[in-house]
Amino acid sequence: MTAQLLLKDVAETPRIPIKYCIRNVKTVYHKTISKRKGYLGRRRAFEMIYGNWEGSFQTLPRYMAALQKFNAGTVVEWRLLRNIFQLAHCRPVISIDGTHVYGVYDIKLLIAVGMDDNGLIFPLAFAIAANESNDTWGMFLTHLRRI
């Protein structure tokens, strides 16, 4: 019920404040819900619109196949390392960075990006790692050098 009410708001602003969710339920249904119920309603609305974590990971192979089909010369390589997969696209590397992926899984996204002739940034290689350490960066950089 809360998720259905929040669908439109979450579609417009995925990270709407929990206070807004609580206020919206109070305005429409004249009931006060807890912060947890507001959070869960927002999360469920988000999943109804964008899907869940498992579904996102399951669509990665299809996404990579589409990249290969519509971007001539794109190479995709999958390697399974302790249940963490790694994938890469081949081009010269200009910049590398890493970030935490918040949510159900405690993983890190490592990325290499380049710049095209118009000065626009585009992704060259991605790696999803269990942690951001010298070992994972070392494997990522070693793999990039082979490309």
- Verify that 11 and 67 share a domain, yes or no: no
Q: Which domain holds residue 9?
A: 2-50
- Verify that 61 and 46 share a domain, yes or no: no
What pLDDT sits at residue 94? 59
**Tally of domains in the chain:** 2
Higher per-residue pLDDT: 42 or 67: 42
Q: pTM of the prediction? A: 0.48
pLDDT category at 40 given cuts 50, 70, 90 is very high
- Verify that 80 and 110 share a domain, yes or no: yes
- Verify that 64 and 19 share a domain, yes or no: no
β-pair type (121-129, 107-115): antiparallel
pLDDT category at 107 given cuts 50, 70, 90 is confident
- Verify that 17 and 66 share a domain, yes or no: no
Q: Give exposure, 28-59, as e/b (b: 16+ Cβ within 10 Å).
A: eeeeebeeebbebbbebbbeeeeeeeeeeeee
- Verify that 46 and 57 share a domain, yes or no: no
- Verify that 80 and 24 share a domain, yes or no: no
- Verify that 30 and 83 share a domain, yes or no: no
Residue 32 predicted with pLDDT over 80: yes
What pLDDT sits at residue 91? 40
Residue 69 predicted with pLDDT over 70: yes
- Verify that 76 and 127 share a domain, yes or no: yes
- Verify that 90 and 134 share a domain, yes or no: yes
